[in-house]
């Protein structure tokens, strides 16, 4: 006797996009606020109008750890939101070539963010410079 249980599960794209957007937005806010709180004791002149957020990723210690790890963690969340957005746009009638082009540009953008965050400005001068010539 064989009993086969078939339970189909459908993913609601609008609801998934909403929740990934909420989670991603909350993650960005927590990362930024956490990095600012860690950055303030060493930089009392901090102002969101005159300090680049990437300066926190270049500051030694906890600001750099919080900012860079938060940004690296946000990369897959950001790409998942983009994939869900493209899936929703496809449901609403967007073309296949538009979807493919959007996913390619989004992938390159998220990979670029990850690479930029993994190699902060303070580390990049210590990497070999291929532009210098010996002759």
Tokens 């900012």 found at: 67
The values of phi and psi at residue 22, to 5°, are -65, -45
pLDDT tens readout for residues 64-123: 889 889 999 999 999 999 999 999 999 999 899 999 999 999 999 999 988 888 876 666
Please tell me the predicted confidence (pLDDT) of residue 47. Answer: 85
Q: Domain boundaries in the chain?
A: 13-121
Residue % of the chain over a pLDDT of 90: 53
Q: For 13-26, what is the mean pLDDT?
A: 95
Q: Using the predicted structure, report yes or no on whether residue 2 has a pLDDT greater than 80.
A: no
Note whether 59 and 73 are within 8 A (CB). Answer: no
Note whether 92 and 25 are within 8 A (CB). Answer: no
In angstroms, the CA 20 to CA 66 distance is: 21
In angstroms, the CA 62 to CA 30 distance is: 14
Q: Using the predicted structure, report yes or no on whether residue 125 has a pLDDT greater than 70.
A: no
């Amino acid at each position: 006797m064989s009993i086969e249980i078939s339970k189909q599960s459908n993913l609601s794209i609008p609801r998934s996009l909403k929740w990934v957007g909420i989670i991603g937005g909350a993650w960005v806010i927590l990362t930024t606020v956490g990095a600012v709180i860690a950055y303030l004791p060493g930089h009392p002149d901090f102002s969101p109008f005159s300090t680049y957020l990437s300066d926190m990723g270049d500051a030694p210690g906890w600001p750099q750890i919080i900012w860079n790890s938060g940004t690296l963690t946000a990369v897959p969340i950001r790409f998942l939101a983009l994939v869900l957005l493209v899936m929703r746009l496809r449901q609403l009638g967007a073309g296949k070539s538009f979807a493919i082009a959007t996913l390619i540009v989004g992938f390159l953008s998220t990979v670029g963010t990850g690479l930029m965050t993994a190699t902060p400005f303070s580390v990049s001068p210590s990497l070999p410079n291929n532009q210098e010539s010996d002759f």
